[in-house]
Structure 1
Amino acid sequence: MKCTFELNSKGLIKQRESYDLEFKETFHFGDSLAEYLRSIVGMANNKGGEIIFGIKDKPREPKGLQNNKFEDCDPNKINQFLSQYFSHEVLWGMEVHEYYGKEFGRFWVDEAPQKPIVCTKVYKNILREAAIYYRYRGETKEIAYPELAKILANEREKEKKLWLRHVEKIGQVGPQNIHLIDTFNGEIQTGHGKILLDKTIADKLKFIKEGQFSEKDGAPTLKLVGEVTGIVDTSSVPKTDVLYPYRFGDFKDKFGINNFQFQAILWKLDVKGNPKYHTEISTSKTTSTHKYTKEFSSRIQSIFERYPKWLVETVEEYKKSNR
């Protein structure tokens, strides 16, 4: 990724500082570093952004880094500062880029997945406990009510959607097959008692990023982070066959269709990649198998019963789309 700026005919930077872009002429440690990180957190509470070092102000001239301070900066110290003074993890990075024959430092930060990030303690006159910093156009300051209200509304909406997905999955799997994993107490609630996990194992269990799935587009799962030596009895954990019991052969036998007709159905109903109907399971590094839900089978049967000519018409459409 390159530094985000362009030069005009005079060799000066076209862009102005904005809600996602800030320029600094030099890089310093100490209080200056606290100010940089305040800006980074403010950007994370907005849409993310970057700070580029080596840009002179008035006029905005790309001078480049004049010493090795940026390269000598230890990212671990920055992580320690962020975790010490702010409530949530900040997804950030730092890198040096050669651009127009000069080297520039760059701090970048992603939009925070969970907002708002709150300052948890005072740092001199730069950071205030309980403050929420937000990046506005050209400046970082404590958040105003309209932006805070919008953040809180968005977080409530995200939580609502997450609950709806959980309820939909419970309906798909069946309540009797749902088990809760309590990583705080190290317990799996099975309905027939508890399976206890060693704390060293429970501490290494973390949910994968929201929206990602195991078995490619299959059911949500857990990711084991670190080396885990213990083994938990998974006999009561719902198997993939419970969620996706059908393969092509089952549809071939049930509906008397061939593979080409089946591919036409998948295309027409946009099934692949929809976890309500389909999952792809890797069986080796180079091969995989496709499995389907009972809901998908029921939908095909309903369409066939209501529209006897649907399959013939769908196959013709599929042929034309592949010409």
Structure 2
Amino acid sequence: MSDLEARFHDLLSQIVPVDSAAAERARARQDQLTKPPGALGALEDLSVRLAAVFGSERPTPERAAVIVCAGDHGVTDEGVSAFPASVTPAMVANFLMDTPSGPGGAAVNALSRSIGARVYVLDVGVNAALPESPRLIAAKVRSGTRNLRREAAMTREETLQAVFAGVRAAEQAIADGADLLVAGEMGIGNTTPAAAVTARLLALDPADVTGRGTGVDNAQLDHKITVIRDALARQASAPTDPLGVLADLGGLELAAMLGVMLAGARARRAVILDGFVEGAAALIAVQLQARVRDYLFPAGLCAERGHGAQLAYLGFSPLFDLSLRLGEGTGGVLAVPLFRAAAASLREMLTFQEAGLLGD
């Protein structure tokens, strides 16, 4: 076992269970608030889960950070995307540029500004030189993955290097005051590795978990499924080794998002999942360390075909369905106000007793 892998297993061992006693107190308080029990629907369950994560029946998650993990993919050589790989560095530059409205000109920037969330951009594998920016965390492991149709996308060491880049980015966001971490990604072609990882870990047919990504037509979709079938047919990884599956079939930004999730769980922060690519990283995280699941929270159901299967496996119900398929962490950002509202219901609503509404 390498030193990096030993550190990785140590990280997994440091993730403790959420506070079940705080969850019980939160549930009891929700049932006594000045409303019919269950009247706030899914917000009540969300508030109880937040109480467990933060260890208080009056949780105060306020500051949100989005960590956009970026990397390129060798499998784009197979024509699996409607856009060329050159779009990845172009979009990362868009995340970083100064605009009249503030830092960044992409959807994740605009949506994050609307809720006061800070955006961090983590380069773990973009196949280009990127502009210098105080908002860029430069941690390039290699300039894109290998072509997963033909060979393993990454070595195990490269995978772990990307994981720890994600860990460090999450630690930076937490040190800057983040309570809620949104895992986001940018990488043209990355729904192909996400589908391959999902198919292998859940033992599903690639056709059942492969969507249109950037908007491929029917012929391109069929080809994309064939590419994934060929990658799986190499039989170079087993579901019993989730880290090996990530190295074989995944992406550098998937590995970095895994690191964000593990670091968030270790620090007892809530990690909000955006969509399908994040879901693939979450499958790996939970199979590596089951305790991580209680620190992960779904945002909305995205339009990628396999996202529902991921959420079903994880036991999550999405908070909304807006037919999103952009990535970047946009769905996670949109969920942040719901998390703040759920926590506020526990903190700020009065119980019947506190409001003096109980009869003699």
Q: What is the TM-score normalised by the length of structure 2?
A: 0.20
Considering fraction of residues, name the structure with more helix. Answer: 2
Considering fraction of residues, name the structure with more strand. Answer: 1
Bigger CA radius of gyration: 1
Structure with higher RCO (Cα < 8 A, 6+ apart): 2
Q: What is the TM-score normalised by the length of structure 1?
A: 0.22
